[in-house]
Structure 1
């Protein structure tokens, strides 16, 4: 996939604007398989060290432990790196497994992170990525991490020789404290994104 993606991108760049179908294919390759950092291009199957050399340190490096039910333990082999290239470019989320890039996703347009985030309970909304949540509200007062098995069972192979595996969900519970006049907010994240927000008792004044 690594060599193929780059060869296809080079071919697209040499074609004129009239080759609409191939241009659409190029867009799909650029969106999901490759990322340009300055004059360099990174692609799926690249190593972490290669991505860092091309794109620099990410704005957020999120380690997401995954549970392997066959061995009964967790492995820290999954990471998501967030790159914020500014207001005019999309945020890029790069997922690595086993030290290699497996997926490139987007998360809306980038932004200049505030120096002193000022967060209210209304700033906590479903769908926020972890990076946007941290930029908007800062670190939570408490956090708890766990790895759960997804109820979804996926099957692979031909029907006569089918096997099954379960997928893992990296879950975090963050608690935000807005003071004694407000309720605590418990924020549930799954695989780096907010999926639920609940009230969690009366807040408190922090003397720090």
Structure 2
């Protein structure tokens, strides 16, 4: 591995913005990128960091609806270019990152940058699993294995929002106690452990 310490600051091109990174979560996907993934050629050298929140500091041509200073959360998947930030294009483990404006989401003032940066990959995965593929409905029974992790927490919350009966499972009673602090359990939620 080689470390580059003279990486140039990004510039906002057409349809893009530069975001000052205020928080970037470390995600297991960053390890996949670092170690290499079968069937995917990573364009090294690259800056990793897939889950990013920050403030816009530069706006490129053809960008509407955004201004310098806006607080944003970045959707790491650019559906038009079919690329992930921090995998196929530079990511958030830097002071600044350039992204397409279409990947931005407004970040309310009451949400911290650190809290927001914990969301995109875990909750995006949970949403696709529970809503897009699973199409969870009210009164269904849903078993969530690994309910104490990021994706699991998202699955529990989304299933509960849909009105499903949730069975939360984790590898220890301590993890279930921790999960119940993040996802308040209600009467229709069963607590279970696996070993």
Same fold (TM over 0.5): no
Greater share of strand residues, 1 or 2?
A: 1
Q: TM-score, normalized by length of structure 2? A: 0.29
More contact order relative to length (CA 8 Å, sep ≥ 6): 2
Give the alignment's TM-score, normalised by structure 1: 0.28
Q: Which structure: larger Rg?
A: 1
